[in-house]
Structure 1
Amino acid sequence: MSDFDDLLQSDRTLLLVDDDKVFLTRLERAMVKRGFDVRIADTVADGIAAVNAIPPAFAVVDLRLEDGNGLQVLSVLHEKRPDARAVVLTGYGNIATAVTAVKLGAVDYLAKPADADDVINALLATGEKHPEPPENPMSADRVRWEHIQRVYELCDRNVSETARRLNMHRRTLQRILAKRAPR
């Protein structure tokens, strides 16, 4: 048996950090059913406090939380427990934050909404065994829409500034923003 298998058998502590209460509760129930000892937090401050109190063997952390960035929780977890396995969840994915998450010790980076099976596969994937691709990945249209929404929010919802940064016409951006999110 490997060190990881020993860890999995002996320590199934899991910290879930997400500000979406419905998603957090649903994921907590699913992970308890799968044999994890789950603690939850809905802010960066609560997540860091939970890590400082009892560093978990596993963590699932949302990237964007109301009081800051979930990578702060990941950083503290990596300091306290370098062997911990963490997955970052986000509805606003980009390459730079994915690279940062991996540098901070994340084993995977999943787009929301991720189901419990996707999370388990990512947490337990080792070495050469890669997790299975998600059953329902985001469409290319959805990824584009998410990126536009993220830039729009980062520009303080300023349409002209967002259009300039995305190198698109302001009216085109306004039409995109007026539509519902693609599936």
Structure 2
Amino acid sequence: MTEEARSTVAHLEDRSLLVLDDDRPFLNRLARAMERRGFVVTEADTVADGLAAVEAHAPAFAVVDMRLGDGNGLDVIQRLKEKRPDARAIILTGYGNIATAVTAVKLGAVDYLAKPADADEVFAALMNDGEAKAAPPENPMSADRVRWEHIQRVYELCDRNVSETARRLNMHRRTLQRILAKRAPR
């Protein structure tokens, strides 16, 4: 039996799941929905609780909110992957952009979902083995949104320094400030 096959079998046997989100009603609904799908759920609503749950028993699966009141959910993903490299974790966030998605995947997340995500989407992301080709998006990003995402990525890479970001994008600083002050285009 190959290592990949053993990992798949282990995931089918161990259905432990950590759900980490600071939105308590959403956390409770998602936890109940995942229990109905056969998972043994541990709930946490802070980074500290999430890290403690990982230390106590590193779960096979995790659904982690990106931004929490006491820190960043990526810290929990990183610790989970250190304790259990075969764990399948996904990031949920209402503040989605390409830069954070790339960071999440580099730290070991297998998928990145924008809120509001329903239990079916979460389940599909957790169980996706990566071999099935993703369906094309129903509503792909507009060109304006792609531009905005690129600007946000460069801005994050420049440590949120407006002047440096403007220089690298060959853009006037005031123009960049106006773009950053606006909401993301659809």
TM-score, L = length of structure 1: 0.73
CA distance in 2, matches of 1:5, 1:77: 18
Write the mapping of 1:42-121 to structure 2, written as runs, cut at 5 A.
42-90=45-93, 91-98=95-102, 100-121=103-124
* Residue 22 (structure 1) aligned to one of 25, 29, 32: 25
What amino acid maps onto 2:96 in structure 1? Answer: Y
Quote how far apart the aligned CAs of 1:4 are: 3.9
CA distance in 2, matches of 1:138, 1:19: 28
CA distance in 1, matches of 2:136, 2:10: 25
* Residue 6 (structure 2) aligned to one of 3, 7, 11: 3
Q: Aligned pair in 2 of structure 1 residues 76, 113: CA closer, same or farther (>3 Å)?
A: same
Match of 2:38 in 1: 35
Quote how far apart the aligned CAs of 1:53 are: 0.3
Match of 1:158 in 2: none
CA distance in 1, matches of 2:143, 2:40: 36
CA distance in 1, matches of 2:107, 2:129: 17
2:98–2:149 contact (8 Å) kept in structure 1: no
Quote how far apart the aligned CAs of 1:139 are: 7.7
CA distance in 1, matches of 2:109, 2:66: 11
1:47–1:73 contact (8 Å) kept in structure 2: yes
TM-score, L = length of structure 2: 0.72
* Residue 125 (structure 1) aligned to one of 121, 124, 128: 128
RMSD of Structure 2 on Structure 1 (CA): 3.6
CA distance in 2, matches of 1:31, 1:21: 15
CA distance in 1, matches of 2:24, 2:170: 36
CA distance in 1, matches of 2:62, 2:112: 12
What amino acid maps onto 1:67 in structure 2? Answer: D
1:121–1:131 contact (8 Å) kept in structure 2: no
* Identity of matched residues, %: 66
1:57–1:83 contact (8 Å) kept in structure 2: yes
SS at match of 2:18: strand
- Unmatched 5+ stretches in structure 1: 156-165
SS at match of 1:9: helix
Runs of 4+ in structure 1 over 6 Å off:
134-148, 166-169, 179-183
2:18–2:42 contact (8 Å) kept in structure 1: yes
